Chain A
Amino acid sequence: MELYVHIPFCVQKCKYCDFLSGNYDVKLRERYTYALISEIESYKERFSEETITSIYIGGGTPTFLEVVFMQRIFDAIFQNFHVAEDAEISMECNPGTGSLEAFKIYRHMGVNRLSIGLQSANEDELELLGRIHTFDKFETTYREARLAGFDNINVDIMTGLPFQTWNKLSNTIKKVTYLKPEHISCYSLIIEEGTPFYNTYKEDVERREKDLETEALPDLDTEYDLYKRAQQLLEEKGYHQYEISNYAKEGKECRHNIGYWKRVPYLGVGLGAASLIDEVRYTNVRDISSYIEKCESDESVRVEEIELSKKDAMSEYMYLGLRMNKGVVRQEFFDVFQITVEAVFGKVIKKNEAQGLLMAAEGRIFLTDKGMDVANQVMSEFLLD
């Protein structure tokens, strides 16, 4: 089983961000820490037989939380769960938070993988995004992490930013690859409703949908070129794509994330966290005060429970599995569901194969390069009615 821990705190909210996070004050951060610990404790008995194979501390900015509070959370995790010796333990970090001392303590707690949110190496883009850091600050954070002993580091970058050109994007990629992180996540910017970016760029979003010229956001063709050229340059620099937006050096793929695509059961704790346990998807409450109040009065924080039918599970298995370049292994599908993938999805597979979007070879079913570019189109066809 995997464990996800959500830390909903940030120095300030970025303009494109629609995740659950905010600054709050230190009192609230402390109360949240203890609420989180009591949620963790509440699962002790239920999962006493399970082994945690990976832990992911996400946010927000986990490294913005006071180190002493983080220490308490780790203590709770290790006291209440059985964590495998070789578990991958990742923590997210934003430049400008954390310090050499803090990184050393995280290492000591057991964190063995650090994911740093850079997003861009260009100062104008960082400002536009509402990031608190400069590229120099990122470089400092990166070097301190190395000094503290992190030998598995991911750097997040983004494509499709407003006014982004290939010059700017390639500058970011070149500067990042020069530092030789083990892993690079390359996300396309999505303008989510309810964010400041949505208000600023919603007209452009509409224009882009209608295939009209845009002002700030790259138009559909430019966006595709940026994404495609980033893919090529990253490959050239020795990072192979193993999932739609993830690139890694050989053997440095993120085990935790692969777990999501392979539908390994996971427990999510903290504000708004999602879980998949015994074919039920749970979601925690998304309001921080009710989260804390519920934890303090020993109530369940889960507000949504979706039981997955076998059909749901098979659909998920396909559309999540296809996110990975290796795709879905036929035999594994059969082992899980006791039915062949052809018997369930034969028609869809054939149709997409004919369109050159999907390939079936070597016992696997996977997206072609072209299919990867239009993955949503293919995946939506794997939904069963």
Chain B
Amino acid sequence: MAVDQSKIRNFCIVAHIDHGKSTLADRLIERTGLLTEREMQSQVLDNMDLERERGITIKSQAVRLIYKANDGEEYILNLIDTPGHVDFNYEVSRSLAACDGAILVVDAAQGIEAQTLANVYLALDHDLEVLPVINKIDLPSADPQRVIEEIEDVIGLPAEDAPQISAKTGLNIDSVLEQIITELPAPTGDASAPLQALIFDSLYDPYVGVIVFCRVKEGTMKAGDKVKMMATGAEFELVEVGYFGAGQFIPCDELSAGMVGYMTASIKNVRDTRVGDTITSATNPCKEALPGYKKVNPMVYCGMYPADGAKYPDLRDALEKLQLNDAALQYEPETSVALGFGFRCGFLGLLHLDVIQERLEREYNLDLVTTAPGVVYRVHKTDGEMIELTNPSNLPDPSEIEYMEEPMVDAEIMVTKDYIGAIMDLCQERRGIYVSMEYMEESRALLKYVLPLNEIIYDFFDALKSRSRGYASFDYEMKGYERSELVKLDILINHEMVDALSFIVFKDTAYERGRKMCEKLKQEIPRHLFEIPIQAAVGSKIIARETVKAMRKDVLAKCYGGDISRKKKLLEKQKEGKKRMRQVGNVEIPQEAFMSVLKLDED
């Protein structure tokens, strides 16, 4: 059965976080009758627990809708959901490559936010037609006319006819569906040309192997075809092709040019199907691969160790599986004196790190110890060699270092007038260099700063939110590397250096951070039977010190009415607690302590 290309629309929805993207997706699914209301679980596309809990979309999801338009024709709408957070731009870019158009959701009260712009530019980069939609018009503070002007002025898109909807109540959803048909283009491509299909995602299923999500640009693919991955060279025979239901895979006879769907081919090795690669026919290959996605480099690195050393192989397997549909995740084995065998992992940002960590803990049931995240520094050695440093422990001896560079970002902070001062102070404290400020409208300004990435990776976002009472939003782009005075701060516990606690820090803040780190560790490390000095050092110079005093009293007095089992539980808990600690020399360090560097600015 050949599908008429003019009856297909492949589109995604882009929006600033919390502007109602997932709710609109739900409404579209509901309205097209893919699921009955009873089957609808709120936010169908966010199918990871984690996504639903946090209200963010992490992974791209795709779903096929059938819509009978006002012209009496039935259309196939392939909706590809995209993540909204800056850390997941990469995922957005993957999804966009599978689409021909994009719906831009803008909050009728908040208007255009930093992420709105970033997503629109991404969509335009991919030559997508953009259809603006104004959401949340049911809010008392909604001001659609102002938002229409904003869209026209800032983005330059005509917005006078943009559907004004409430995804929450379902108001005007039909006009969105109609405009998808009338405003967004149908796919092009020749169904009889040599096969050319772009892999935009994949996941691993223990029964059928890798399930590859693809957009067919040219040609046709069906079960039994022999196909070839153009980058890896791997060849497979297709077992099944199909499209996406809501949360399920529906097999079909063939996928032809313009269609979005999936294929399986008993692919066992997850590395054979790289996201961004082009699938072509093994017998009648196309001439050129499709342009892949922009390769992304991790910005933030940290060490991840299994709390139970015996779980190391489990962690390795889990990382491998996660990497399959999260190509931005990178990892390589490392060992630490204090933490044993683990991995140095690279992430796009701190939220990405957080999400991966939680997925490892929840979906793979792993208990992890994570070391303080750091950025990639460039170390220029006196012998002319340049190394990219992802693990502070690998910093060469200072005598071999000519100079070091750290990554900088161009940061844009949108903030309401009242908090401009507070936010400027924050940027100042974080070694920010002021670039400009412009008023977007009377009450809001866009502040531009150049900031070192390492100053924003742990808690900048939290600080921003707390100092602006939630009124600031923040986006950044990598700017490149700049020369900087950096030193390695080491922590010595009972006179032994703990490698997993070392970090790179700007020279002038080393003393302050060292002092705070010692204070924090003093709270985290329980008293032992002997006194424990905690020292911060740069090179051989001790710059801060705290002491964990010796334990003097630990008795449980009351043991009532012969209720021994309660006392026993307490002793068992104590013994268990010790097992969970990491032994460095004769000091037992709780696993939480390794993360304590993250919380230095809490107070």
Binding site for B on A (CB under 8 A): 4, 6, 19, 56, 58, 186-188, 190, 209-212, 220-221, 223-224, 227-228, 244-245, 260, 266, 268, 273-276, 281, 283, 304, 306, 316, 319-320, 323, 355, 357, 372-377, 379-381, 383
Contacts and interface: CB of A to CB of B under 8 A. Distances in A.
A255 B571 CA distance: 25
Contacts of A376: 554-556, 570-571, 574
B548 interface: yes
Given A377-B551, A383-B571, A187 B557 contact: yes
A281 B565 contact: yes
A283 B568 CA distance: 14
Interface string B572-597: 10110010000000000000000000
Contacts of B527: 211, 220
Contacts of B556: 190, 375-376
A260 B562 contact: yes
A379 B571 CA distance: 7
A224 B558 contact: no
Nearest to B555: A375
B555 to A, nearest CB: 5
A220 B551 CA distance: 9
5 tightest A-B contacts by CB?
A: A210-B523, A224-B553, A245-B557, A187-B557, A224-B552
B384 interface: no
A221 B562 CA distance: 30
B571 A373 contact: no
15 contacts: A56-B561, A190-B557, A211-B548, A212-B523, A220-B553, A224-B553, A245-B555, A260-B562, A260-B564, A276-B562, A281-B565, A376-B570, A377-B574, A380-B578, A383-B575
Contacts of B559: 260, 323
Contacts of A223: 553
Contacts of B268: none
Contacts of B551: 374, 377
Contacts of A228: 553
A286 B535 CA distance: 50
Interface string B517-560: 00000111011010000000000000000001101111111111
A275 B561 CA distance: 9
B502 to A, nearest CB: 23
B571 A380 contact: yes
Given A187-B558, A383-B575, A373 B553 contact: yes
A188 B552 CA distance: 14
Contacts of A375: 554-556
Given A19-B560, A210-B523, A211-B548, A374 B555 contact: yes
Contacts of A374: 529, 551-555
A260 B565 CA distance: 12
A172 to B, nearest CB: 16
Nearest to A367: B555
A268 B555 contact: no
Interface residues of B, number: 30
Contacts of B602: none
B571 A211 contact: no
Given A186-B557, A210-B524, 10 more contacts: A224-B552, A227-B553, A227-B555, A260-B562, A260-B564, A283-B565, A320-B564, A373-B554, A377-B529, A383-B571
Nearest to B572: A383
A377 B562 contact: no
B554 A306 contact: no
Contacts of B441: none
Contacts of A304: 565
Contacts of B526: 209
Interface string B233-255: 00000000000000000000000
B563 interface: yes
Contacts of B570: 376
B517 to A, nearest CB: 15
B564 to A, nearest CB: 7
Contacts of A244: 555, 557
Nearest to B522: A211
A381 B571 CA distance: 9
Contacts of B554: 373-377
Nearest to B556: A376
Contact of A373 (B552, B574, B578): B552
Contacts of A245: 555, 557-558
A274 B522 contact: no
B571 A316 contact: no
A283 B558 CA distance: 18
Given A211-B548, A211-B549, A373 B565 contact: no
Contacts of B522: 211
Nearest to B577: A380
Contacts of A209: 526
Interface string B484-513: 000000000000000000000000000000
B89 to A, nearest CB: 39
A306 to B, nearest CB: 7
Contacts of A273: 561
A190 B559 CA distance: 12
Choose among B526, B557, B572, B574 the residue with the greatest number of A CB atoms under 10 Å from its CB: B557
Contacts of B562: 4, 260, 266, 268, 274-276
B523 A319 contact: no
A372 B553 CA distance: 8
A382 to B, nearest CB: 8
A223 B527 CA distance: 14
A188 B564 contact: no
A190 B553 contact: no
A221 to B, nearest CB: 7
Contacts of A379: 571
Contacts of A186: 557
B259 to A, nearest CB: 58
B557 A274 contact: no
A229 to B, nearest CB: 12
Contacts of A19: 560
Contacts of A283: 563, 565
A222 to B, nearest CB: 10
Given A376-B570, A376-B571, A221 B549 contact: yes
Nearest to B552: A224
A374 B548 CA distance: 16
Contact of B552 (A220, A260, A306, A316): A220
Contacts of A188: 555, 557
B221 to A, nearest CB: 58
Contact of A6 (B558, B561, B574): B561
Contacts of B552: 220-221, 224, 373-374
A273 B568 CA distance: 16
B564 A276 contact: yes
A210 B552 CA distance: 15
A186 B557 CA distance: 8
A44 B529 CA distance: 50
A157 to B, nearest CB: 11
Nearest to A209: B526
Contacts of B565: 274, 281, 283, 304, 306
A188 B548 CA distance: 23
Nearest to A316: B564
A198 B562 CA distance: 24
Nearest to B551: A374
Contacts of B529: 355, 357, 374, 377
A373 B561 contact: no
A64 to B, nearest CB: 17
Contacts of B524: 210
A209 B592 CA distance: 14
Contacts of A357: 529
B548 A274 contact: no
Contacts of B555: 188, 227, 244-245, 372-376
